[in-house]
Amino acid sequence: MPPKKTTLPQRIIVNGRSGSGKTTLVENLAKALRAKHMDGGIMSRRVAREKKMTIDVFGRYRITHPETDRMIDRRLIREVKNSPRIVVQSRVLPYAKELKKLPIVRIYLKADQSERIRRVAHRDGISVQAARKRVLGVERADRERFLKIYGLDIHDKSVYDLVVDTTRRSPTQTVAFVLSELKKLTDNHG
């Protein structure tokens, strides 16, 4: 009898703290799975630029303008529902009630704070000191915003199928590890 063909999950949502590798993983997973990808963080940075705000200022602005987050979240939810194959980076979607009945794998990325700060400094071309201020400010604003708007602790890992520490993994190692874990999840539940 031929071996059973494994079909990897077709809808994946990735979350994690700033600099944990969310955007890179989403792009690499989408490529490996030949899936569409969307990134709530990139969408947020784009809106911040349109409003001529730094991401730090935009984070504070969003606390008093929750319609901005809700608009981004509605678009992402609609895309996940309507896309048979998609990888999304989002802070809120792992907890979204609208998606509970869909077969979705939720992945949380974590990394040591010093490594995340180093990555943000490199990505954004800023000093480590500026990156520390940015990362800690964004995380504080995000946590406050999502508690206020949705009543969510966006670092509650209980909703995730997979928690991955990227501190000592390269992007290539991270995607290979995640693909291996997705196969295991599929084999165990398929």
For the chain, residues with pLDDT lower than 50 are 1-6
Which domain range does residue 26 map to?
Answer: 11-168
What pLDDT, on a 0 to 100 scale, did the predictor assign at position 89? 93
Tell me, yes or no, whether 116 lies in a domain: yes
Using one digit for the tens of pLDDT, what is the confidence trace for 82-98?
Answer: 988 999 999 889 998 88
Q: Do residues 166 and 178 lie in contact, with contact meaning Cβ atoms separated by under 8 Å?
A: no
Tell me, yes or no, whether 102 lies in a domain: yes
What pLDDT, on a 0 to 100 scale, did the predictor assign at position 127? 97
CATH number for 118: 3.40.50.300
What pLDDT, on a 0 to 100 scale, did the predictor assign at position 69? 84
For the entire predicted model, the pTM comes to: 0.85
Total domain count, the chain: 1
Tell me, yes or no, whether 151 lies in a domain: yes
Tell me, yes or no, whether 112 lies in a domain: yes
Using one digit for the tens of pLDDT, what is the confidence trace for 170-185?
Answer: 999 999 999 999 998 8
Q: CA 170 → CA 17, 38, 164, distances in Å?
A: 17, 21, 12
Tell me, yes or no, whether 54 lies in a domain: yes
